Amino acid sequence: PDEYNIDRHGRAVLRLDLKRREGTDLLLRLAEKADMLLEGFRPGVMERLGLGPETVLARNPALIYGRMTGFGQDGPLAGRAGHDITYLAYSGVLHAIGHAGGRPVPPLNLVADYGGGAMMLVAGVLAALFQRSRTGKGEVIDAAMVDGASMLAVPLHALMAAGLWSDKRGANLLDSGAPFYDTYETSDGRHIAIGCLEPQFFAEFARLLPLDERFASGQYDKALWPPMRAAIADRIRQKPRDDWDRLFAQTDACVAPVLSLQEAKHHPHNRARNASVTAGAFERPAPAPRFSSSQPTLATMPGDEDLLPSTMLARFGFAKAEIDDLVKSGLLTDN
């Protein structure tokens, strides 16, 4: 249902048959007054439809033309299908996620689809808009999810080049290789997350756990990491998750309960910040980040009059009679 489809929230949906000349002509007219056009077809499809960057920017030289694909607009894999896990695999990032001796673990579809894909495209669009404010010229953005996921891993490449990171999974400071940067099961079958990297935070953790002095004074002695991990795991298994949360709550030990998505919405901190909002049929995270002088409005739900195709076309300068003709021709469905 549309009320649960976040891709519809806040968006007017205009369905066009781009295989009909009338459909492409209408899109080109919209592009003449648009700030940006975003497309997610495989390379070459927009060109075959007569809607490639050269054609569209000829109608609006100030347009930002964003292209989102898995592999980019060129290269041997450019035309290949894939999903988040595919692009992560080709970026090398998937290989790095997981425990030592285990298989690579997909981090949902957050890293390539959203982090390396959507957010990189957003960054590109914002940079292009800033450039346009100075030059008046548009830009074509080639946002590939493999490229974006790889970009997110630049710090790991730097550490590897410096000899401070192993290409072996689960052997490093931030990939669960270090016993003080990992998750542990509690007595009730739930988990806590420990991330006390800095010596002062680790000292606080070791004092409260408590941890044997030989471990407390040997945080970065890798020879101690296996027995330290076993000692931490054994201790954490002795209490339920929420007991550990209460113990560490007012400290700098960098310990947190691993909350489910539902639990996170009701955590006191998130509630105090109004981090969840109800929009339409369900409660969801609020817009982020936050601004000092303005507040993002909640996305309008599908069905709102402001999101009707006719309303959108009117904002683009189409006359009512012309919109009525488009509906009669079957090119436009006003719902």
CATH 3.30.1540.10 domain residues, the chain = 178-258
- pLDDT for res 332: 77
Is 221 a catalytic site residue? no
- Phi first, then psi: what are they for 106, rounded to 5°? -65, 125
In one-letter notation, the amino acid at residue 45 is V
CATH tag, 178-258: 3.30.1540.10
- Find the farthest-apart pair of alpha carbons in the chain and give their distance in angstroms, rounded: 82
**pLDDT truncated to tens, each residue of the chain (335 aa)?**
677 777 777 777 888 889 889 999 999 999 999 999 999 999 999 999 999 999 999 999 999 999 999 999 999 999 999 999 999 999 999 999 999 999 999 999 999 999 999 999 999 999 999 999 999 999 999 999 999 999 999 999 999 999 999 999 999 999 999 999 999 999 999 999 999 999 999 999 999 999 999 999 999 999 999 999 999 999 999 999 999 999 999 999 999 999 999 999 999 999 999 999 887 778 889 888 999 998 877 666 656 676 788 888 998 999 999 998 888 888 877 66
What is the Cα–Cα distance from 335 to 328, expressed in whole angstroms? 14
Is 83 a catalytic site residue? yes
- pLDDT for res 277: 87
Determine which one of 84, 113, 147, 182 is catalytic.
Answer: 113
- pLDDT for res 152: 97
- pLDDT for res 69: 98
DSSP structural state of residue 114: I
> Which contiguous run of DSSP H or E holds residue 54?
helix 53-59
Determine which one of 2, 17, 35, 83 is catalytic.
Answer: 83
> Which contiguous run of DSSP H or E holds residue 247?
helix 241-248
- pLDDT for res 304: 67
* Interacting residues of 103 by C-beta distance below 8 A, sequence separation 6+: none
Phi-psi region of 101 (alpha: psi -120 to 50; beta: other; left: phi over 0): left
CATH 3.40.50.10540 domain residues, the chain = 34-168
- pLDDT for res 334: 65
Identify the sign of the CA torsion 28, 29, 32, 33. Answer: negative
Strands 255-257 and 191-195: antiparallel
- pLDDT for res 302: 56
CATH 3.40.1180.10 is the classification of domain 34-168: no
